[in-house]
Amino acid sequence: MMLIRYLSQIGRYFLMLKEIFNKQTKWPVMKNLILKEIDDLIIDSLGIVCFISFFIGGVVAIQTALNLTNPLIPKYLIGFATRQSVILEFAPTFISVIMAGKMGSYITSSIGTMRVTEQIDALEVMGVNSLNYLVFPKIIALLMYPFVIGISMFLGVFGGWLACAYGGFSTSQDFIQGAQMEFIPFHITYAFIKTLIFAMLLATIPSFHGYYMKGGALEVGKASTVSFVWTSVCIILFNYILTQLLLG
């Protein structure tokens, strides 16, 4: 019975994706909606992303340094390990899971509140494709999400460098040498491919839970929690699949 319910929800999700791109809202209206979503989802997220990335990079560098206790292991490996950890996993995946909480709960609660207060019904009565009106601007706005992750990568490595150089774990030259060592440009491409997939998940899964929720104000809170859980699960699952496909 539960399997059938999950399959039904997955089917409804893909039908929602199809409906999003039908009967487009007029461009002058859509342009303003997209700019508002960029401000709400991207610009408002920069502060928390910068703060977390900087200190996560520092923690990764310090923990790497503390575990390299053998004097025969060169100190530049701290920079190498920090760069690889931040670019491959911490920036794209860890930040996306955090954004599933920040962006996801905002998207679910805002659309869910519109469902509870019958604003979505009002849009439908006026002949507006409510899914296109509400969800499409979020998808377009989150195409800028790789820009946020690019900043996260830079600040993660920068935080690691500061923690190492000024914490006495290694010299600045050693860290920079390690950060530049055996750099593979495809790793950046891989991280941004993941980021774009995660952006699609961040825009659509919370929207799905907000749009199809039933009940009152209490159910809006429950829907936000459920959307965070499922968005995080999908991000982790797709992270594994994409890593296997692109790096395996």
Question: Tokens in use for 229?
Answer: 């859980």
Q: What is the pLDDT of residue 219?
A: 86
Tell me whether residue 18 is in a domain.
no
Say which residues have a Cβ less than 8 Å from residue 188's Cβ, sequence separation at least 6: 87, 153
pLDDT per residue as tens digits for the range 26-55: 888 889 999 999 999 999 999 999 999 999
pLDDT bin (cut points 50, 70, 90) of residue 68 is confident
Report H helices in the chain.
Answer: 2-20, 27-37, 46-67, 76-85, 95-116, 119-125, 130-141, 145-167, 172-180, 186-211, 217-247
pLDDT digits (tens, 9 = 90+) for 219-247: 888 888 999 999 999 999 999 999 999 88
Q: Which two tokens stand for residue 53?
A: 């990335």
Q: Which residue type, as a one-letter code, is found at position 28?
A: P
Answer whether 48's CB lies under 8 Å from 98's CB. yes
Residue 172 lies in a domain: yes
Residue 101 lies in a domain: yes
| Separation between Cα atoms, residue 143 and residue 32, nearest integer Å | 16
Does 52 reside within a domain? yes
pTM over 0.75: yes
Q: Do the domain assignments include residue 234? A: yes
Q: In the chain, what percentage of residues exceed pLDDT 70?
A: 100
* Nearest-angstrom CA–CA distance, 62 and 72: 18
The pLDDT, as a whole number, for residue 32 is 92
The number of distinct structural domains making up the chain is 1
Angstrom distance (rounded) from CA 86 to CA 98: 15
Q: What is the pLDDT of residues 183-205, one digit of tens each?
A: 888 999 999 999 999 999 999 99
Q: Which pair of tokens denotes residue 223?
A: 């829907």
80-129 pLDDT per residue, tens: 888 999 998 889 999 999 999 989 899 999 999 988 888 888 888 888 88
pLDDT tens track for 167-187: 878 888 888 888 888 888 899
Q: Which domain holds residue 147?
A: 25-247
Per-residue confidence at 140, pLDDT binned at 50, 70, 90? very high
